[in-house]
Amino acid sequence: MKAPAPSDTLMEDIVGLCKRRGFIFQSSEIYGGYNGFYDYGPLGVELRNNIKQAWWRDFVQCRDDIEGLDSTIIMHPKIWKASGHVDGFSDPMVDCKESKLRYRADQLFFAPVSVDGETIGYVSVVECIDQQEVAEKAAAEMKRKMAKQGELDTIKLKEYTEAKPEQYELIPSPATGKPGSLTEPREFKLMFETKVGPLADDAATAYLRPETAQGIFANYKNIVDTGRVKIPFGIAQIGKAFRNEITPRNFIFRSREFEQMEIEYFISPSADWKTLHREWIDTCTDWLVSIGLPREGISEDIHPGDKLAFYSQATTDLMFQFPHGEQELWGIACRSDYDLKQHQEHSGKSMTIFDETAKEKYVPHVIEPSLGVDRTLLAVLSAAYTEDEVPNDKGKVEKRILLKFSPKIAPVKAAIFPLLKNKPELVEVAKRLHKKLQRRWNVFYDASGAIGRRYRRQDEIGTPFGITIDFDTIEKDSTVTLRDRDTCEQRRVTEDELIKFLEEQIDG
C-alpha cells in the first residue's frame, strides 16, 4: 500500500465506496443521519473485526507479559472524579452567536490582515489542509474590497485560544464572514452523562466512558491479585468509548462513539521509562506496517511540555497521512503513577505491587499505547484505495477501483467463481471448494455475470485472491486458477497448493 496524498476527493471517494459497497453508513440515515455516529455494514464489520483480532493476537496472545480485560462502559462515577475527567476533560469551545454554529477554539485559526504594517481587519479559518492558502485568499479579497494600496504583510495564523479579549469582537466568524459574533472560548465537557437507577437526581449521574483506560486502572488490583503477572506487565482492552466532540468530522476520524484498543504497561518507578517509551513507539509503528500501512506514511509528533494532557509525563503520537492531512493515529503516553495514585487516594485501596526481582513494594508507573479502531480502519482504507487501468475480458483497457488490503485484514479473503453458472459440473466443484474454505476464512461465492465483472466487484472490496473453477479443473488436472488482485496475474495451482498459499498469506 502507498501513503495517500492529502486530498478532499480521496475522502469523498472513500466515503462513496464505503456506502456503495457496505463498509460504513451514516448512523440513523433514514432519519437524516446523526452527526458523529457511524454504523458498520457487512464488509465494515469484517474489516473492523480483523483489525481488532490482529491487534489482540499480536499484543495479548503472542506476548507473555500482557493480559486481556473487558470492563464495563458505565463505571462508578467516582472513577471519573479520581481520574480527573470530571473536572478536566474538556475542549475549548467557541460559539457563533449569529449562525449558532460551534467550533473548537484550538481548531479555529485567525490572523490580522495588514497592508504595509497597518492592520485593516482579521481573517479566520477552520483547521484544514490548506488553511494558510484559504486565509491568504481571504486577506487578498479584503484588501481588494477595501481598495487598499500597498503590500499585504505575511499572514501568521494563530489558534483562537491565543486571541486576546480585545480581539474577540474583531475576528470574523467562519460561518458568516463578519466580525462580532464569536464568543470567547469556554471549556466544554466531553463526557456523555446518563442516569443510573430509578431516581433521576444528581446522585444518579453516571458517565459513558471517554477512554477504556480507566477500566484497566480500576481492575489493576484484581489482576495483580490473580497472581498471573509480575512487573513489567501490561493489561490490554478493546472497547467502545464516547466523547461529546464539539466538531465531529472527517468521516470516522473524529466521531462521538468510537472504539479504542488500549494497553496500560506497568513498569517499576526506577525503570528507564524513556527507553521503554521508545521501544513502545517502535513496536507500535512496526505493528501498523504489519497490517499494511506504508512506513513512509507514518511519522512521530512529540508533544511539547505545555501541550501535554493533564496526566502525561511525555507523549509521542504516531501520525498518519490521512486524506485530510497528517493527523494523530496512535497516542503513546507515559502516564507515570498518576492514575494508580489517584485511585489509591480516592478508593482507599492500596495500589502497590511487590516486585519479586527488586524485592521492593511500590505503585508502578505506566506507559500507555492508545489506538482508535475507527481511525486505524480509516488509515487502512486511505492507504488501500487505488485507481488503476487494466484490460477487460475483451482486451480493452478500463479504469478500475481497488482496495489493496493486506490479506491479513481484508474483509473477504478469497472469492470462488465457477467459470459458467449454467454448467453444473463447474458449479458443484466450486461450491464444494467454497464450503471447504468457508470453515477457515471469510470467502465469497459468486457465479453471476461475466468473469471480468466478477473480478472487478471483488477488487473494489479488496478481496486479495480470486479462484476460478474452469474446464481444465474438471476435465484435466483438478487445478484451479488463482488470480492476484493487485497484479491481475493468474496461475494454476492444485487444491493443496492453494490452501498452503492462503495459509501463508492470511495467517502467516
Confirm or reject binding of residue 258 to ligand GAP (CB under 6 A).
Answer: yes
Measured from the CB atom, the residue of 46 and 211 that comes closer to ligand GAP is 211
Confirm or reject binding of residue 338 to ligand GAP (CB under 6 A).
Answer: no
Confirm or reject binding of residue 340 to ligand GAP (CB under 6 A).
Answer: no
The CA distance from 76 to 289, in Å, is 38
Binder to ligand GAP among 185, 215, 232, 331 (CB under 6 A)?
Answer: 331
Measured from the CB atom, the residue of 227 and 304 that comes closer to ligand GAP is 304
Binder to ligand GAP among 52, 143, 375, 408 (CB under 6 A)?
Answer: 375
- Convert 360-371 to b/e letters by CB count within 10 Å (16 or more is b): eebbbbbbbbbb
The CA distance from 342 to 351, in Å, is 10
Measured from the CB atom, the residue of 172 and 372 that comes closer to ligand GAP is 372
Amino acid at 329: L
Which class for 274: exposed (0-12), middle (13-18), buried (19 or more C-beta within 10 A)? exposed
Binder to ligand GAP among 181, 260, 336, 468 (CB under 6 A)?
Answer: 260
Confirm or reject binding of residue 266 to ligand GAP (CB under 6 A).
Answer: no
Confirm or reject binding of residue 124 to ligand GAP (CB under 6 A).
Answer: no
CB of 277 to ligand GAP, least distance (A): 15
Measured from the CB atom, the residue of 189 and 243 that comes closer to ligand GAP is 243
CB of 85 to ligand GAP, least distance (A): 10
Measured from the CB atom, the residue of 168 and 242 that comes closer to ligand GAP is 242
Sign, CA dihedral 81-82-83-84, equals positive
Confirm or reject binding of residue 293 to ligand GAP (CB under 6 A).
Answer: no
Binder to ligand GAP among 92, 215, 297, 372 (CB under 6 A)?
Answer: 372
Binder to ligand GAP among 46, 67, 91, 262 (CB under 6 A)?
Answer: 262
Give me the helices (H) in 291-337, please: none
- For 25, the 3-state DSSP assignment is strand
The single residue listed with the C-alpha cell 507515559 is 334
DSSP string of 395-446, one letter each residue: S-EEEEEEE---TTT-SS-EEEEES-TT-HHHHHHHHHHHHHHHTTS-EEE-
Taking CA atoms, 259 is separated from 21, 190, 213, 301, 365, in Å, by: 22, 16, 12, 22, 25
Confirm or reject binding of residue 330 to ligand GAP (CB under 6 A).
Answer: yes
Query: Residues 405-444 vs ligand GAP: string with x where CB under 6 A?
Result: ----------------------------------------
Of the candidates 360, 192, 386, the one whose C-alpha atom is nearest the C-alpha of residue 269 is 360
Distance of CA 105 to the CA centre of its chain: 23
DSSP β-bridge partners for residue 362: 353
CB of 105 to ligand GAP, least distance (A): 17
Q: Which residues bind ligand GAP (CB under 6 A)?
A: 211, 213, 243, 245, 254-255, 258, 260, 262, 328-331, 368, 370-372, 374-375
